[in-house]
Amino acid sequence: MTFPELVEAMKTLFEPVTLEDYPEEFGYVLNSSREIARVGYATNLDQVTAGKAIAMGIDALLTHHDAWDFLYDLRTKAYETLRRAGISHCYVHLPLDAAPFGTAATLAERLGLEIREPFARDGDFLCGRICDCPSPIRLEELATRLTEVMGCEPRVWRHHPREVRRVGITTGAGNLTDLLREASGWGCDTYITGETNLYTVAYARNQELNLLVGTHTHTEFPGVESLCNRLRAIMRLDFVPIKEECFEIGAMVESDEQAARVSE
């Protein structure tokens, strides 16, 4: 199997969407023409992910995010690391957010929620999902489920007095008050996303909307995994998860040597 064959197979999973119509949301770099057997997948492309891919003997890397141009030298270093190692890379962003097997849909499914409607428009794509609970559940139970799915604890704000019945999900950077307003208009009592700021929390409180905030990385990883599971079903390749630390919610000191450098 070659990397271009992998890319072509992936494109078919998004039909009738044509990925080439969205050059800022889909792209790939062929860094080697060799046969591939082992494909790594992660949410982000950066030097840490690239380094893990090299250590794991990955032939090709599939991510949700590109190393976006506003990351400046991080982008340059990540791409140079992959190039030198001969690891090809492909990313798919908004089309995966909106896909029926994508980020919001997969997170809803893994939380045991029933999808009612898509919402949260970004260009041509509806990236979020309005979901119902099969039966009302406590907010603490929903937070526990989210912890189990992500592998890290979300931040939780209780703003609604009763049990959770309807949930709006916009994975990643779904912190805009416009999105919370839309979810509230659908009758949601709870909202899940990956990022927050002052205004997200203040508006959620105003709307009596419970707020659960995981991380951008870990609310979206299940969607990347879902894509790879679909590819695994049609291709004779080994798809391997590249685990990313919860670096968004706190610095992680991995060694005494690092700790010494930080304290200098």
Query: Mean of the pLDDT values across residues 164-186?
Result: 98
Q: Mean pLDDT across the chain, nearest whole number?
A: 94
Domain boundaries, the chain: 3-93+220-242, 97-218
CATH number for the domain formed by residue range(s) 3-93+220-242: 3.40.1390.30
- The per-residue pLDDT for range 192-246, each reduced to its tens digit, is 999 999 999 999 999 999 999 999 999 999 999 999 999 999 999 999 999 999 8
- The per-residue pLDDT for range 5-63, each reduced to its tens digit, is 999 999 999 999 999 999 999 999 999 999 999 999 999 999 999 999 999 999 999 99
Tell me if the domain spanning 97-218 has CATH number 3.50.50.60: no
Q: What pLDDT does residue 263 have? A: 31
Asked if domains 3-93+220-242 and 97-218 share a fold, the reply is yes
Q: Which residues contact 205 (CB under 8 A, 6 or more apart)?
A: 157, 159
In 10 A of CB 5, how many CB atoms?
13
Residue 96 near residue 227 (C-beta atoms within 8 A): yes
- The per-residue pLDDT for range 67-119, each reduced to its tens digit, is 999 999 999 999 999 999 999 999 999 999 999 999 999 999 999 999 999 99
How wide is the angle at C-alpha 169 spanned by C-alphas 167 and 172, nearest 5°? 155
- The per-residue pLDDT for range 232-255, each reduced to its tens digit, is 999 999 999 999 998 898 744 444
